[in-house]
Amino acid sequence: MRNAGLGGWPARRARMSPGRTAFVQAGRPVTYAEFHERTTRLASRLDIRPGDRVAYLGPNHVALAETMFATHLLGGVFVPLNFRLAAPEIAYMLRDSGASLLVYDPAFAPAEMDVPAVGLDELETWIEGGDPDPIDVAVAPGDVALILYTSGTTGSPKGAMLTHANLVWNCVNMMIGVDLTSSEVTLISAPLFHVAALNQTLLPTFLKGGTSVIMPSWDVDRCYDLIEEHRVTWMFGVTTMFAAFARSPRWADADLSSLRTLMSGGAPIPVALIRAYQERGLVFCQGYGLTETAPGATFLEAADSERRAGSAGVPVFFADVRVDAPPGTPGEVLIQGPNVTPGYWGNPEATAAALTEDGWFHSGDIGVMDDEGHLTIVDRVKDMYISGGENVYPAEVEAVLFTHPAVAEAAVVGVPDPRWGEVGRAFLVPAAGAEVTAGELTAFLRARLAKYKIPVYFDVVDALPKTGSGKIRKPELRALGVPR
């Protein structure tokens, strides 16, 4: 087989475990043999050459995996797009990537499509009419496999390139850290256009021969149902997802005995939330990474998950991570390894700014490395603000706010202040049926944090603005400025 990239995976899996279930969606199982045939048939209908880009726009669906592997079978580059973005944002990504084809869910069709496109309602006809004969295009491990656009929390999104080798090494690191088995049943509940859902759960599960149960979108009750119905063993989520799951009325009595590992990343997660899962008898592991690192950079394995709760763990097996500061002191996190991006699509300036000459990637995150080599993420460089000459890391304040029983979600940003330079403004989503006042929260924080870290302003809101991957859009909150 000349295809040394992901395009060869369906054939390799089909010959090893043809009858094993690869995917389940809406109760319908798809075996590895069926998936291999469908992917091959689809590839035969895609009019692309090696290096051409194929974009996908829509919620989680088996068709995303079919389109991705079919693209890779032909040596193409897969570009998953965030369907929650506005039409101009999607149009920008299609133009920037130079996509040759867009596969899309008609319910999320952009207003204007200046690229050949096929809807999911037509895709099934394409597959049925495709040729099942084997396809073997030469693909090298160093060829680009994915262009993943950053969430765009600052400026225009950049297209991070990930090679086939980046993805393979990330899968290996994940299988080492989580001890994946061929009997894994993985719940794909986070959006697959996001690097963690795609690269940290779906791809490692596929490589190992497990089963991916696909949720079109996050829904707390449906998540409980699927865990019980399919005896899910592993799932990934971000803080907002796990917080909502633990607040459900079903939390206390649901059968969660099948769950072997819960995994979170994407932003610092409050220790209080981790403890809630551990008290429920569940193994909760935190990791750290970025789109540009495919994404795994560090991981806290199960053996240390209780003792080191709140830590993002140690560097994954095949990567190195350092903090640009002495042990115990906050500094920028840098990552080097075979999982690190070769750069940004069509943006050599951004590539040069992000990567050192010897291949260390500047994360833009602030972390602390302790004497055991464990990394704790403090905050994003851009989210830190300075109040009265002191650095304030909003994630630290948010973690304390989260321990208040009346607070369901919290986000803190710095706003201008004539005396202190900047002070904190906290945005809070109250827990169901709860009420909370600024005075109460100030007193609560005063007993737990230094005075300069306590926000001056508190806003109670119904919801926080989020990106498609569940991260809070802090630029939108900062843009509100000082309350009138």
Q: Taking Cα atoms as reference points, which of 447, 435, 425, 426 lies closest to residue 405?
A: 435
Q: So what's the pLDDT on residue 152?
A: 47
Predicted local distance difference test score (pLDDT) of residue 30: 98
In angstroms, how far is CA 286 from the centroid of its own chain? 12
Domain 1-16+31-140 coded CATH 1.10.287.980: no
Q: Please tell me the predicted confidence (pLDDT) of residue 153.
A: 43
Residues 353-382 have a mean pLDDT of: 91
**Angle at the Cα of 25 from the Cα atoms of 106 and 7, rounded to 5 degrees:** 80
Looking at residue 155, its pLDDT comes to 54
Q: Which residue ranges does the chain devote to CATH 3.40.50.12780?
A: 160-381
Helices (H), 343-460: 348-354, 394-402, 438-446
455-459-464 Cα angle (round to 5): 105
What is the mean predicted confidence (pLDDT) over 302-327? 94
Q: Which of 107-121, 171-185, 199-213, 325-339 has the lowest mean pLDDT?
A: 107-121
Query: How does pLDDT run across 48-98, given as a tens digit for each residue?
Result: 999 999 999 999 999 999 999 999 999 999 999 988 887 888 888 999 999
C-alpha 200/C-alpha 442 separation (Å) is 39
Instruction: Note the pLDDT tens digit of each residue in 249-307.
Output: 999 999 999 999 999 986 667 888 899 999 999 999 999 999 999 999 999 999 999 99
pTM for this prediction: 0.85
Asked if residues 301 and 294 have their Cβ atoms less than 8 Å apart, the reply is no
The ranges of the chain annotated as CATH 3.40.50.980 are 1-16+31-140
pLDDT for 348-367, tens place per residue?
Answer: 999 999 999 999 999 988 89
Tell me: domain 160-381, CATH 3.40.50.300, correct? no
Token pair belonging to 167:
């993805």
pLDDT, residue 211, reads: 98
If you average pLDDT over every residue of the chain, what do you get?
93
> In the chain, which residues fall in CATH 3.30.300.30?
384-478
pLDDT of res. 89: 81
Instruction: Give the pair of three-digit tokens for residue 253.
Output: 């009595």
φ and ψ at residue 239, rounded to 5 degrees = -55, -45
Q: Cα(333)–Cα(377) distance, rounded to whole angstroms?
A: 9
Cβ–Cβ < 8 Å for 121, 103: no
Of the ranges 77-81, 218-222, 229-233, 386-390, which one carries the lowest mean pLDDT score? 386-390
154: confidence class by pLDDT, cuts 50, 70, 90: very low
**Does the pLDDT at position 471 exceed 90?**
no
CA neighbours closer than 13 Å in the CB half-sphere of residue 460: 14
The secondary structure of residue 194, as a DSSP letter, is S
pLDDT, residue 418, reads 80
State which fold the 384-478 domain adopts.
Answer: GMP Synthetase; Chain A, domain 3 (3.30.300)
Characterize the bridge pairing of strands 144-149 and 159-163: antiparallel
